[in-house]
Each structure stands twice: as structure tokens, then as C-alpha cells.
Amino acid sequence: MVTISSNLLFAAFILYLVATVFYGGSIKAKKDPNETKKTNKWGSIAVFLTIIGFISQLGYFITRWIAAGHAPVSNMFEFTTFFGMALVGAFIVIYFIYRSTLLGLFTMPIAILVIAYASMFTRDVTPLIPALQSYWLSIHVTTAAIGEAILAISFAAGLIYLVKAIDQTKSNKRTFWLEIVMFALVVVLGFVVVSTAFSAIGYQEKFTWVDKHGNEANLEYTMPALTGPHEGKLLTSDGFKPLVEMPALINAKKLNTVIWSFLAGFVLYGAIRLILRKRIAAALKPMVKNIKLDFVDEISYRSVLIGFPVFTLGALIFAMIWAQEAWSRFWGWDPKEVWALITWLFYAAFLHLRLSKGWHGEKSAWLAVIGFVIIMFNLVAVNLVIAGLHSYAGS
């Protein structure tokens, strides 16, 4: 069952990749630039592939659920994969409202990155600790993820807006920050590439080190240690000698992974720049020339409008009901809870700002980007760095 499940996920991943190519084609092949209602052949194929991929991933989800005996949203891999799936699902829904294949061209790569990122974590079927043994696990986590995914669509739309609206002929703060967003996406790709590469060659090195309480412990690196642990002693004979030793307060292993991801990100980004000979955002500009600004602005705003209630329901209300049952209080200021509140406050502020004219358009698009950064921070950093009740067992 688990094998079928992972095969289905792999199939979905490939389908999404192919679909992205077709989305690209649909933009190029479009004859009448103002005709947004009818999708051309490339576009139809792309949407078809996306739906097939989505169904395949749904198959992964169901088979894994059967295999594990609980909803597969209980660890970093499962949750992030589900988030990727929700992102594709949210795109399909928004697509049938607005019929924009360009949105697909921007959303699918993000979804692919998310799923690839998820696969870098351990894919074992994990047992549930007592606190998670509740049907609220499936209800709360899926609803929250779907809400976040719909909100993330507003990021894709916002990105389209920025790529189109920002003048790339001269460099300034706007082009810089937009390029930072692009670079951040490349760094995620970098993380996927280095992780895959080192795990493919089976890289491993072991250390003993001394933690901040003075206890000696073992630590296993899966990437060559650029930053070694505090008073670390390399045990693997042909292992890579750390360049710098970190103080005990800093998690040297996680920092090492981050540094490797950035290194790979820089290399990849450099290569892309060499090929394109201009900024990524500038290279994307021709793709978006046929879309109207206020149209993407509306998609972005609408996604927030649709996603906000779902997010509130899943990440706050269902979360509170479950917390009341499992931890005896509906609200306890656990970091994850607080970050859900922060996300919620942010989008509440976004919706209120939209009331005034000055915050439509580009400002609103930047806000959509910041919103996505908050969601990603909540997903990645809060689970892996700020450990609380929600931390996924240190994986």
C-alpha cells in the first residue's frame, strides 16, 4: 500500500512538471491577447494534466491514509505534501473562476517546489503520539492547509502583478526585492538539489559533541559539515572536517543545511543569470504582457477573500476546539498557535487596507508576498526551529 501510495505521488509530481511546460506553451501560443475566456489547446491540455495529477495525488493521500490508519498529515513530509496538493486544488478552483492559464504557470512551479521540499524529510509512516490521536487531526490540519493554500494563490497572483508592473529597465528597490523573492524560490530548489545529491551518494558523517548543558551527545550529518557542532569530534574517518565550530547555543546541523542550500541557491541563480543575461523577473516579463493588471489584482484579492474564512475555520476555530479537548485549553499561546494568529491578523489587516484606494494594486501585491512569507515561516521555521507543542518530532 505504501509503495502504491508513493508511486502515485511520484506520478502526480511528474504530471505537474509536464503541465507547467504546457502552461508555458499556452501563454506563447495565445493569439488574441484580450481573449481570456477561451483557453487554447495548450492550456486545455495543461489544465487536464493538472487535474489528472491532482487525482493521482489524491490517490496517494487516500492510500497512505489506509496504510497508516490515520490521516497522513502527521509529520513534516505528510503535511507539506498535503499543502502542495491543496495548492494545486486551490489553483484548479480559482482557474475555473477566472480561466487564467498564466496563473497556472506561476502556481504550479510553487506547488512543485513545495512537494519536492516535502520529500526531503523522512517519508516513513509514523505512529501518532496520544495528543494527535483524534479525528480532529484530519479536520483541523486539512482545513488549515487548504486555507493557507488558497491564501497562497494570492501570492502567485501578486507575483504576476509585480512582474508586470515593475519596470525592469532601471534597477531600484522594487526590482531588488522582487528579485529577492525569485532568489528565495531558487534557494528552496537549491536545498532540494543538495539534499537529493548527498542522499543519492549516501553521504554520512558522525560527530560526538557537547551540548549547552555540558552533556556529550552523538550527532549525524548527512551533508559535509561546514559548520561543526560545539566541541565536535569527527568520528567518520574520511569525513569532511568542519570549517567553523559553532557555539553550543546554535544548532550547527540545521545551520549547515541552510548554508548548503544557500550555496546551491547561489550557484543555480548564477547559472540562470548567465543563461538569461537579465534578472529572472525581467525574463518573466514577456510572459505576463497579455494580462491586465486590475484582473490579477482582483484574483489576488479574491483569493484572500476566499481563503480567509477557510483559514480562520481551520487554523483557529477547529484548532481551538481540538486544543480544548486535548490540552484542556482552547488557547495556550503555543508558538504555532501564535503564528496562526499572526497570519490571521496579517490578512485581517490586508482586508481592511483594501478598503482604501491607496492600497490596491502594487502595494496589495507586496502584501500578498509578505503574507506568503508568513505562511511559509509558520510551516518551516515554526515546526523546525521554534519548537513547541506542534513540533514534528525534530525531523
The contact set with other proteins (CB under 8 A) reads 2, 67-69, 97-98, 122, 124-127, 129-131, 133-134, 212, 249, 292-295, 298, 301-302, 305-306, 308-309, 312-313, 317, 320, 324-330, 332-335, 338-339, 341-342, 345-346, 348-349, 352-353, 355-357, 382, 386, 388, 393
Cell of 288: 505576463
**Residues constituting the chain:** 395
| Residue 23 CA, distance from chain mean position | 20
Q: Are 337 and 319 contacting, i.e. CB atoms less than 8 angstroms apart?
A: yes
Which CA distances in Å does 296 have to 149, 211, 291? Answer: 17, 51, 7
Task: Specify the residue, 184 or 342, whose C-beta has the smaller distance to other proteins.
Answer: 342
**Burial of residue 157 (number of CB atoms within 10 Å: 0-12, 13-18, 19+):** buried
Q: Which amino acid does the sequence have at 172?
A: N
User: b/e per residue, 75-107, with b = 16+ CB within 10 A?
Assistant: bbbbbbbbbbbbbbbbbeebbeebebbbbbbbb
* Shortest Å, Cβ 163 to other proteins: 14
* Shortest Å, Cβ 112 to other proteins: 26
Count other Cβ atoms within 10 Å, centred on residue 351: 13
Q: Are 255 and 227 contacting, i.e. CB atoms less than 8 angstroms apart?
A: yes
Q: How far apart are CA 322 and CA 132, in angstroms?
A: 10
Task: Specify the residue, 48 or 199, whose C-beta has the smaller distance to other proteins.
Answer: 199
Q: How far apart are CA 344 and CA 71, in angstroms?
A: 25
The secondary element (H helix, E strand) that includes residue 205 is: strand 205-210
Task: Specify the residue, 125 or 267, whose C-beta has the smaller distance to other proteins.
Answer: 125
* Shortest Å, Cβ 65 to other proteins: 12
Residue-wise DSSP of 362-373: HHHHHHHHHHHH
* Shortest Å, Cβ 372 to other proteins: 16
Task: Specify the residue, 153 or 186, whose C-beta has the smaller distance to other proteins.
Answer: 153
Task: Specify the residue, 16 or 392, whose C-beta has the smaller distance to other proteins.
Answer: 392
Q: How far apart are CA 388 and CA 395, in angstroms?
A: 14
Residue-wise DSSP of 156-167: HHHHHHHHHHS-
Task: Specify the residue, 275 or 355, whose C-beta has the smaller distance to other proteins.
Answer: 355
* Shortest Å, Cβ 386 to other proteins: 6
Q: Which amino acid does the sequence have at 235?
A: L
Task: Specify the residue, 20 or 175, whose C-beta has the smaller distance to other proteins.
Answer: 175
Task: Specify the residue, 2 or 210, whose C-beta has the smaller distance to other proteins.
Answer: 2
* Shortest Å, Cβ 159 to other proteins: 19
Residue-wise DSSP of 122-190: -----PPPGGG-STHHHHHHHHHHHHHHHHHHHHHHHHHHHHHHS--SS--HHHHHHHHHHHHHHHHHH
* Shortest Å, Cβ 342 to other proteins: 5
Task: Specify the residue, 52 or 317, whose C-beta has the smaller distance to other proteins.
Answer: 317
Task: Specify the residue, 97 or 276, whose C-beta has the smaller distance to other proteins.
Answer: 97
* Shortest Å, Cβ 392 to other proteins: 12
* Shortest Å, Cβ 317 to other proteins: 5
Q: How far apart are CA 186 and CA 191, in angstroms?
A: 9
* Shortest Å, Cβ 22 to other proteins: 24
